[in-house]
Protein backbone atom coordinates (compact mmCIF):
# COMPACT_ATOMS: atom_id res chain seq x y z
CA UNK A 1 0.00 0.00 0.00
CA UNK A 2 1.21 3.49 -0.74
CA UNK A 3 2.50 5.17 2.43
CA UNK A 4 0.34 8.20 1.69
CA UNK A 5 -2.83 6.09 1.81
CA UNK A 6 -4.51 5.95 5.25
CA UNK A 7 -4.78 2.44 6.68
CA UNK A 8 -8.22 0.94 6.29
CA UNK A 9 -10.12 -0.45 9.25
CA UNK A 10 -12.53 -3.34 9.78
CA UNK A 11 -15.45 -0.90 9.92
CA UNK A 12 -14.77 0.61 6.49
CA UNK A 13 -17.22 -0.48 3.76
CA UNK A 14 -16.18 -2.63 0.82
CA UNK A 15 -16.98 -1.75 -2.79
CA UNK A 16 -17.43 -4.92 -4.86
CA UNK A 17 -17.43 -4.08 -8.57
CA UNK A 18 -18.57 -6.51 -11.24
CA UNK A 19 -17.19 -5.40 -14.59
CA UNK A 20 -19.19 -5.74 -17.80
CA UNK A 21 -21.18 -3.89 -20.44
CA UNK A 22 -24.78 -2.71 -19.88
CA UNK A 23 -27.64 -3.92 -22.03
CA UNK A 24 -29.30 -7.27 -22.74
CA UNK A 25 -27.26 -7.86 -25.89
CA UNK A 26 -24.12 -8.21 -23.71
CA UNK A 27 -25.67 -10.12 -20.81
CA UNK A 28 -24.17 -13.56 -21.54
CA UNK A 29 -20.89 -12.36 -23.07
CA UNK A 30 -17.65 -13.67 -21.59
CA UNK A 31 -16.73 -10.04 -20.89
CA UNK A 32 -19.77 -9.78 -18.57
CA UNK A 33 -18.89 -12.50 -16.09
CA UNK A 34 -18.21 -9.80 -13.49
CA UNK A 35 -21.84 -8.68 -13.78
CA UNK A 36 -22.95 -12.31 -13.34
CA UNK A 37 -21.01 -12.69 -10.08
CA UNK A 38 -22.28 -9.32 -8.82
CA UNK A 39 -25.87 -10.38 -9.58
CA UNK A 40 -25.41 -13.56 -7.57
CA UNK A 41 -23.92 -11.66 -4.63
CA UNK A 42 -26.89 -9.27 -4.75
CA UNK A 43 -29.23 -12.26 -4.55
CA UNK A 44 -27.30 -13.53 -1.54
CA UNK A 45 -27.65 -10.25 0.37
CA UNK A 46 -31.31 -9.98 -0.63
CA UNK A 47 -30.99 -6.78 -2.65
CA UNK A 48 -31.92 -5.50 -6.10
CA UNK A 49 -29.68 -3.29 -8.18
CA UNK A 50 -30.85 0.30 -8.57
CA UNK A 51 -29.40 3.47 -10.04
CA UNK A 52 -26.85 5.11 -7.74
CA UNK A 53 -27.78 8.80 -7.62
CA UNK A 54 -25.60 10.77 -10.02
CA UNK A 55 -23.07 7.97 -10.48
CA UNK A 56 -23.26 6.08 -13.76
CA UNK A 57 -23.73 2.76 -11.99
CA UNK A 58 -26.22 0.46 -10.32
CA UNK A 59 -25.69 -0.54 -6.70
CA UNK A 60 -26.94 -2.79 -3.92
CA UNK A 61 -26.06 -2.08 -0.29
CA UNK A 62 -25.96 -4.88 2.25
CA UNK A 63 -23.83 -7.01 4.53
CA UNK A 64 -21.77 -10.11 3.78
CA UNK A 65 -20.88 -12.64 6.44
CA UNK A 66 -22.45 -13.91 9.66
CA UNK A 67 -24.36 -11.48 11.90
CA UNK A 68 -22.18 -9.68 14.40
CA UNK A 69 -18.63 -8.31 14.24
CA UNK A 70 -17.68 -10.71 11.45
CA UNK A 71 -20.06 -9.22 8.90
CA UNK A 72 -18.83 -6.66 6.38
CA UNK A 73 -20.74 -3.69 5.04
CA UNK A 74 -20.68 -3.87 1.25
CA UNK A 75 -21.73 -1.87 -1.77
CA UNK A 76 -22.14 -4.10 -4.82
CA UNK A 77 -21.79 -2.16 -8.05
CA UNK A 78 -22.18 -2.58 -11.80
CA UNK A 79 -20.87 0.38 -13.84
CA UNK A 80 -23.30 1.39 -16.58
CA UNK A 81 -20.70 3.25 -18.61
CA UNK A 82 -19.38 0.42 -20.81
CA UNK A 83 -16.28 -1.50 -19.88
CA UNK A 84 -13.58 0.87 -21.08
CA UNK A 85 -15.00 3.78 -19.02
CA UNK A 86 -15.54 1.89 -15.75
CA UNK A 87 -13.06 3.95 -13.74
CA UNK A 88 -15.13 7.14 -13.51
CA UNK A 89 -18.26 5.54 -12.03
CA UNK A 90 -16.24 3.31 -9.69
CA UNK A 91 -14.18 6.21 -8.38
CA UNK A 92 -17.34 8.30 -7.88
CA UNK A 93 -18.86 5.49 -5.79
CA UNK A 94 -15.64 5.11 -3.83
CA UNK A 95 -15.68 8.81 -2.96
CA UNK A 96 -19.40 8.80 -2.08
CA UNK A 97 -19.22 5.77 0.21
CA UNK A 98 -15.73 6.67 1.54
CA UNK A 99 -14.20 3.33 0.59
CA UNK A 100 -10.42 2.87 1.01
CA UNK A 101 -8.72 1.74 -2.20
CA UNK A 102 -7.73 -1.61 -0.69
CA UNK A 103 -11.42 -2.25 0.07
CA UNK A 104 -12.31 -2.11 -3.63
CA UNK A 105 -12.68 -5.49 -5.37
CA UNK A 106 -12.95 -5.78 -9.17
CA UNK A 107 -14.45 -9.01 -10.52
CA UNK A 108 -13.48 -9.47 -14.16
CA UNK A 109 -12.83 -11.88 -17.01
CA UNK A 110 -9.21 -12.96 -17.56
CA UNK A 111 -7.90 -14.26 -20.90
CA UNK A 112 -4.65 -15.73 -19.61
CA UNK A 113 -6.34 -18.19 -17.23
CA UNK A 114 -8.18 -21.36 -18.24
CA UNK A 115 -11.95 -21.26 -18.21
CA UNK A 116 -13.43 -21.28 -14.71
CA UNK A 117 -10.10 -20.98 -12.88
CA UNK A 118 -9.90 -18.18 -10.30
CA UNK A 119 -6.99 -16.00 -9.24
CA UNK A 120 -7.24 -13.42 -6.46
CA UNK A 121 -4.66 -10.70 -5.97
CA UNK A 122 -4.07 -7.17 -4.71
CA UNK A 123 -2.71 -4.59 -7.13
CA UNK A 124 -0.75 -5.28 -10.30
CA UNK A 125 -1.13 -4.40 -13.96
CA UNK A 126 -4.20 -4.47 -16.16
CA UNK A 127 -2.93 -7.15 -18.61
CA UNK A 128 -4.71 -5.34 -21.45
CA UNK A 129 -8.12 -5.43 -19.76
CA UNK A 130 -9.87 -2.16 -20.58
CA UNK A 131 -12.03 -2.14 -17.45
CA UNK A 132 -9.00 -2.50 -15.19
CA UNK A 133 -7.07 0.01 -17.27
CA UNK A 134 -9.82 2.59 -16.71
CA UNK A 135 -10.08 1.84 -12.98
CA UNK A 136 -6.32 2.06 -12.48
CA UNK A 137 -6.16 5.37 -14.36
CA UNK A 138 -8.90 6.78 -12.13
CA UNK A 139 -7.75 5.41 -8.75
CA UNK A 140 -4.34 3.78 -8.94
CA UNK A 141 -3.61 0.02 -8.96
CA UNK A 142 -3.97 -0.81 -5.25
CA UNK A 143 -7.34 -2.57 -5.35
CA UNK A 144 -8.20 -6.28 -5.17
CA UNK A 145 -8.99 -8.33 -8.26
CA UNK A 146 -10.97 -11.54 -8.56
CA UNK A 147 -9.85 -12.83 -11.95
CA UNK A 148 -12.26 -15.26 -13.62
CA UNK A 149 -10.57 -17.31 -16.32
CA UNK A 150 -12.19 -17.42 -19.76
CA UNK A 151 -9.22 -18.83 -21.71
CA UNK A 152 -7.75 -17.63 -24.99
CA UNK A 153 -9.61 -17.24 -28.31
CA UNK A 154 -9.53 -20.30 -30.57
CA UNK A 155 -7.57 -20.22 -33.80
CA UNK A 156 -7.19 -16.74 -35.25
CA UNK A 157 -10.25 -15.22 -33.58
CA UNK A 158 -9.59 -11.67 -32.42
CA UNK A 159 -9.63 -11.05 -28.66
CA UNK A 160 -12.34 -8.37 -28.98
CA UNK A 161 -14.60 -10.78 -30.85
CA UNK A 162 -13.97 -13.55 -28.33
CA UNK A 163 -14.75 -11.58 -25.18
CA UNK A 164 -17.90 -10.07 -26.73
CA UNK A 165 -19.31 -13.48 -27.66
CA UNK A 166 -21.58 -15.46 -25.37
CA UNK A 167 -20.18 -18.39 -23.45
CA UNK A 168 -20.40 -21.53 -25.58
CA UNK A 169 -23.03 -24.19 -24.89
CA UNK A 170 -20.34 -26.43 -23.41
CA UNK A 171 -19.10 -23.63 -21.15
CA UNK A 172 -22.63 -22.79 -20.01
CA UNK A 173 -23.00 -26.27 -18.53
CA UNK A 174 -20.49 -25.31 -15.82
CA UNK A 175 -20.99 -21.54 -15.77
CA UNK A 176 -23.39 -21.44 -12.82
CA UNK A 177 -20.98 -23.51 -10.73
CA UNK A 178 -18.01 -21.29 -11.58
CA UNK A 179 -19.97 -18.07 -10.93
CA UNK A 180 -21.09 -19.49 -7.58
CA UNK A 181 -17.49 -20.33 -6.71
CA UNK A 182 -16.35 -16.81 -7.63
CA UNK A 183 -19.02 -15.34 -5.35
CA UNK A 184 -17.79 -17.64 -2.57
CA UNK A 185 -14.25 -16.37 -3.18
CA UNK A 186 -15.36 -12.75 -2.76
CA UNK A 187 -17.09 -13.60 0.52
CA UNK A 188 -13.98 -15.42 1.76
CA UNK A 189 -11.77 -12.47 0.80
CA UNK A 190 -13.90 -10.12 2.90
CA UNK A 191 -14.28 -12.48 5.85
CA UNK A 192 -10.83 -14.06 6.08
CA UNK A 193 -8.46 -11.86 4.09
CA UNK A 194 -6.56 -12.24 0.83
CA UNK A 195 -4.07 -14.90 1.88
CA UNK A 196 -6.73 -17.35 3.05
CA UNK A 197 -8.90 -16.65 0.03
CA UNK A 198 -5.95 -17.28 -2.28
CA UNK A 199 -5.19 -20.53 -0.49
CA UNK A 200 -8.77 -21.70 -0.89
CA UNK A 201 -9.52 -20.53 -4.44
CA UNK A 202 -6.31 -19.89 -6.41
CA UNK A 203 -5.98 -23.20 -8.25
66-69 CB contacts, 8 Å cutoff, 24+ apart: 69/10
Beta strands 14-18 and 72-79 are parallel
| Catalytic center residues | 31
The C-alpha R_g of the chain, in whole angstroms, comes to 16
Which residues neighbour 106 within 8 Å (Cβ) at sequence distance 6 or greater? 17, 19, 34, 90, 131, 132, 135, 143, 144, 145, 146
Question: Can you tell me whether residue 5 is helix, strand or coil?
Answer: coil
Strand 50-51, strand 14-18: pairing: unpaired
The strand pair at 118-122 and 144-149 is best described as antiparallel
Query: Would you tell me how many other CB atoms lie within 10 Å of the CB of residue 80?
Result: 19
Helix locations, 31-168, DSSP H:
33-45, 87-97, 130-139, 159-163
Amino acid sequence: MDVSTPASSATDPWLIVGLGNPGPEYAMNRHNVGFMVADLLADRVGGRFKRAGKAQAQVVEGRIGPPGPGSRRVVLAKPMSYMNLSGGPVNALRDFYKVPLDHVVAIHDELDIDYGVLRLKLGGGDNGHNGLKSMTKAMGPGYHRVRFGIGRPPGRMQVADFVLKDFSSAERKELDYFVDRAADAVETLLADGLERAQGAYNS
